[in-house]
Amino acid sequence: MAARQDLAAEFMQIVDSLTMSVILDRERMRPLSYLTPGKDAPMTDKLPGTQMFQKETLQDVREELGDCRRCSLCEKRKNLVFGEGSDHAEVVFVGEAPGADEDLQGRPFVGRAGQLLTKIIEAMGFSRADVYICNILKCRPPGNRNPLPEEIQLCEPFLVRQLEAIAPKAICALGTFAAHTLLKNDVPITVLRGRFHDYHGIPLMPTYHPAYLLRNPSAKKQVWEDVQQIMKRLDKGADA
Ligand code: URA
């Protein structure tokens, strides 16, 4: 009887693992990659009966993105902004899309809002190099307009893969747009912020965008409370 239960549990594990692979492949637009040889093929030297995959690195993702021309944002961009920071970051900050400064430099969050984000990161006891900073979109929408659904659809799979490669302990979604895109809802940021949400098993804390803080400095207190919760999760003492 016990052996039968073990077998059933093992079978369910395999089903769960395959289901996850299919979901991830769909998001990466690489259907059934686990059936093809190459770096996504099952590693047969691992546990028999479980699907194990060699993990993609950030560099793999960057290479596949290449000189991206998947949507029309490529026509006006000066530089693609992939993201920067540690491959092993404990926390990843996700913003909306590059602005003019980021487009010029090819780096995320380097303008005025970026300088404020850097201060927040340092107040958490990190440097920018310790964490990872990226955006939902990798190219600047003209005039900083809101990203379009088709742009998100084409760009988000690369963000998903970056997050998978890093496997952070926490994600901080900066602003309404990042929170809505990652959590697939449209609940106001005022309601979403202040508590963790689940992002494919990773705790995700939505908070206000640093650009909003530049216009509304009184909201800094709430952002500090939100990032302190992240620090607690990471076991990093928070000296307010
Ligand atoms: N705002 C964002 O959302 N991302 C950046 O990189 C810069 C400003």
Q: What is the CATH number of the domain that holds 102?
A: 3.40.470.10
For ligand 1, is residue 135 a contact (CB within 6 Å)?
yes
Q: Which pLDDT score, from 0 to 100, does residue 40 have? A: 43
For ligand 1, is residue 109 a contact (CB within 6 Å)?
yes
* Chain mean pLDDT for the chain: 86
- 106 in the same domain as 22: no
- 153 in the same domain as 99: yes
- 84 in the same domain as 32: no
Q: Which pLDDT score, from 0 to 100, does residue 50 have? A: 44
41 falls within a domain: yes
Q: Which pLDDT score, from 0 to 100, does residue 1 have? A: 55
Domain that holds residue 49: 1-55
- 183 in the same domain as 225: yes
In 3D space, the residue among 215, 238, 23 whose CA is nearest the CA of residue 120 turns out to be 238
171 falls within a domain: yes
Confidence band of 53 (pLDDT split at 50, 70, 90): low
108-164 pLDDT, tens per residue?
A: 999 999 999 999 999 999 999 999 999 999 999 999 999 999 999 999 999 999 999
Confidence band of 182 (pLDDT split at 50, 70, 90): very high
214 falls within a domain: yes
Total number of domains in the chain:
2
Confidence band of 236 (pLDDT split at 50, 70, 90): confident
For residue 3, pLDDT beyond 70: no
Confidence band of 198 (pLDDT split at 50, 70, 90): very high
15 falls within a domain: yes
- 207 in the same domain as 93: yes
In the structure encoding, which two tokens stand for residue 133, read together?
């900073």
Atom of ligand 1 at shortest range from CA of 135 = 4
78-103 pLDDT, tens per residue?
A: 999 999 999 999 999 999 999 999 99
58-70 pLDDT, tens per residue?
A: 999 999 999 999 9
62 falls within a domain: no
In 3D space, the residue among 95, 225, 94, 235 whose CA is nearest the CA of residue 169 turns out to be 235
Q: The whole model's pTM is what?
A: 0.80
For ligand 1, is residue 98 a contact (CB within 6 Å)?
yes
For residue 34, pLDDT beyond 70: no
For ligand 1, is residue 83 a contact (CB within 6 Å)?
no
